[in-house]
A and B are shown apart, each in its own frame.
Chain A
Amino acid sequence: MGLMEKIFALLEHGPGEHWGVHPDDRKRPAADAPLRVLPLPERLHVPLQQHIGAAARPIVLVGQKVLKGQLLAEAQGATSANIHASTSGTITAIGEITAPHPSGLPCAAITITADGEDRWIDSEPAVDPFSLAPKDTAARIAAAGVVGLGGATFPSALKLGLGLRAKIHTLILNGGECEPYLSCDDRLMRDFAAEIIDGIRIMLHATGAQKAQIGIEDNKPEAIAAMTAAARKFAEISVCPVAARYPMGSEKHLFSALTGQEVPADGRTTDLGVLVHNVGTAWAVHEALRHNRPLVERIVTLNGGAIAFPGNIRVPVGALVEDVLAYASLKEVPARLVMGGPMMGSLLPHTRVPVVKGSSGILALTAAEAAAYDPGPCIRCSSCVRACPVGLLPLEMSAHIAASDLNGAVDLGLKDCIACGCCSFVCPSHIPLVHYFNHAKGELAAQGRTQLRNDAAKRLAAARAERIERDTREKAEAAARRKAERMAQKAAEKAAAEAAAAQEAAGTAAESSEVTT
């Protein structure tokens, strides 16, 4: 940054950090309650798509008996991930279940009726991960179906592989957990610090990075203490408390807070030699490599004013939200059910929705917490401009989108929006700004697909026209050639005839001359 930029920043924000918001974190008492384990539900509905890529392909049949950890469905492509059985039992259906998405649309899922034994599949004894080549370590992580547990659910092995190729020097572990209400990472760091540190060491081995920094918001002193104690033996791993500020858990923002650098708009942290992973992912890596256990369960925060006993629960993947809520007891019918945090989580259409690998929390919010107001007119107070951690103009962007001028919104930086929700959170007029941006992004993606289709159709049409033209041209050329050939033949015949006639004439003349001489 140049000097002018520093002066501008000082005039605009004063000294120090300025982005984001400080929501009431409401993490306690849920964060302090001891970790519980969900009693095994009768049935588990394991979706085939719990990652950003294509859905996995089932390799089991209805009626087949499976053991916990057995492969149910295979990854399809690089950004897909394996899906394993979360308990032992019988496959009773390969059908559909409502996806954890506000649309309430169905997704493909395998239903396991539990036998109650919860018996793990026999696996070969785990080998020392440090004796493996980095590539083989990543392959094992991929086989275990580990995806990023911070919410993006990007396949972890792929990310580690990218890191290896990009020659990264530092691994940042995201223990920010900046979303209010959520404490699953906090609980994990308090209870499984040694396992996380071990997972981090394996990840360092898999990427070739020299050091790891664990970024934890300073509102989690117990987690910081536990992780610091566990990391003490390893000089290459350090715990870095960061200010509690939303969205500190955003990859680029945590990176900036720890390194003081900024990720260029068209780049990734790996371009700057840094790879960011969630602490939960490190735990999953440890489980996969040390115990040969694929990712079949996770810690889920149960919180919100409507929950009688808030806290963190170990939940098998595929358990229904209704099972989890029944265990934690509801005090009242919630006004809103959310999967994930209140800032970026998605509204649940109902409770018959499965917990997936990326589910960090289930929030049952009361009417007072959900704070639903009717939107009013924008008063241009620019609170959203000050809150935006990316430096956008939410009020201007939403005005363009409301007027269907999507390109105007793109010019203002719509594509840089991370949908963190800071703008909507502070808006005194309760304008659903993120709703506008999500709508515009979806619309633009649809337009992009249409454009691709149109381009393809145009290419095909052009190719067809060219082919027809070529055919006609070739036909005409062939006809012309044939005509020329005919003409030539005719000419030749004519010439031959003439020659013959001449010869004949000459012959006759000769004959006559012979006669005359």
Chain B
Amino acid sequence: MTGFVATAPLASPHAHSGGRVTWVMGKVMLALAPATLYGFWLYGWPAIHLWVITILFSLLGEAFCVRLMGRRAIPVLMDGSAALTGWLLALSLPPWAPWWLGAVGGLFATVIAKQVFGGLGQNLFNPAMVARVALLISFPVPMTQMVAALPLGSVGAPDFVQGLRITLAGMPNYDAVASASLLGHAKTELSRGIDLVQTFASANAPALSFIGARTGSLGETSALLIAAGGIALIFLRIITWHIPVAMLLGIALPALIGHAIDPARYLGAGTHLLSGAAMLGAFFIATDYVTSPNTRLGQLVFAFGCGFLTWVIRTYGGYPEGVAFAVLLMNALTPAIDRLIKPRIYGRDRKGKPMELPEEKA
């Protein structure tokens, strides 16, 4: 029994907290599950098919690159990051989008936006958002064709096979189900010269619903469930309050001011927070470890920037939604934020100079 011989010198510590990357990703997926399942119910089989296809192609892109590098793909796929990227991308697509949108997006996210940079941890930009923006710019029409919610089991909702047909062959009669998201509707009406007060006074204006009975992508329908998942992540200690709170403040503060000055031109803070990808962005997109700053102070700056830019793009930009653009712009600033904002070292001031000794008592 005492014939023990160590195999290789190992540095301390000889203990570990037990955390693992796979579990981190797993917990994030778990937190996304309620909102996703609710979205599945709202939009039915086409949404489920699209979700599966997007994740499959994300995994495929990742596996392809890893095999190209001569490494085994399964251990890399097991870290869960590619699946999570695909999942987040699927949540940001129109639920009835054609299959190739999810496929191209999934491949783009893991191949171009992630593995080209060097794989997990090396990418400068959020892969899901890079893919979404690439799709939005390349295929603006299918990326903005929203449908009204048609819950599973309701009259006229497509069954499994019909859903497959919609996903694979496209929507047969789009006009019948077409609907506009709230932000898109507001933007369209404003550009037609109709102010917001009139727009929302009309009977067919999109409803603002906290529980998500509204038009949009999977990830923007239920602000309540997304926020609940995000708060669960805070309690699971996967993320902290800093990024979500700062990002939502970044959207809400300018919205409050704008709406107070001119309600006909500027949407209210509540509308902003509950619409589009605000909640998904604040809790699940901007909080991406890889592309956000290291320190919490840095994260506050970063996330406030994400929120503020989102509001600017939504209000003055050409696109109705701006979360993806805002996050990518702030991703580009993350290295600069990390360089400027560092933790204070024990016994030193923020600039790194040793503290002064207290004056000698005479």
Residues of A within 8 A of B (CB): 5, 8-9, 11-13, 21, 23, 102-104, 180, 252, 256, 261-267, 271-272, 322, 325-326, 330, 332-334, 336-338, 340, 342-351, 363-365, 369-373, 376-383, 385, 388-393, 395-396, 412-413, 416, 419, 421, 424-430, 432, 434-435, 438
Contacts and interface: CB of A to CB of B under 8 A. Distances in A.
B2 A322 contact: yes
Interface residues of B, number: 52
B300 A383 contact: no
B121 A379 contact: yes
A371 B16 contact: yes
Given A379-B21, A430-B16, A351 B11 contact: no
B283 to A, nearest CB: 16
B173 interface: no
A388 B343 CA distance: 10
A432 B12 CA distance: 8
B1 A385 contact: no
Contacts of B342: 393, 412
Given A12-B295, A265-B348, 20 more contacts: A11-B297, A12-B296, A102-B9, A102-B11, A265-B355, A266-B354, A340-B12, A347-B10, A347-B14, A349-B5, A351-B3, A376-B120, A382-B295, A391-B345, A413-B345, A416-B347, A421-B12, A421-B13, A424-B16, A432-B10
B344 interface: yes
Nearest to A323: B2
A11 B347 contact: no
Contact of A381 (B289, B296, B347, B349): B289
B17 interface: yes
Interface string B142-175: 0000000000000000000000000000000000
B354 A264 contact: yes
A252 B294 contact: no
A153 B55 CA distance: 57
Contacts, number: 202
Contacts of A345: 12, 14
Given A264-B354, A380-B294, A429-B21, A347 B13 contact: no
B290 interface: yes
B6 A262 contact: no
B290 A380 contact: yes
B316 interface: no
Given A370-B14, A416-B348, A264 B355 contact: yes
Interface string B1-38: 11111100111111111111101100000000000000
Contact of B20 (A11, A377, A428): A428
19 contacts: A104-B6, A262-B355, A264-B354, A265-B345, A267-B357, A342-B15, A346-B12, A347-B9, A370-B14, A373-B16, A376-B120, A377-B121, A379-B290, A383-B19, A385-B343, A390-B346, A416-B348, A421-B13, A424-B12
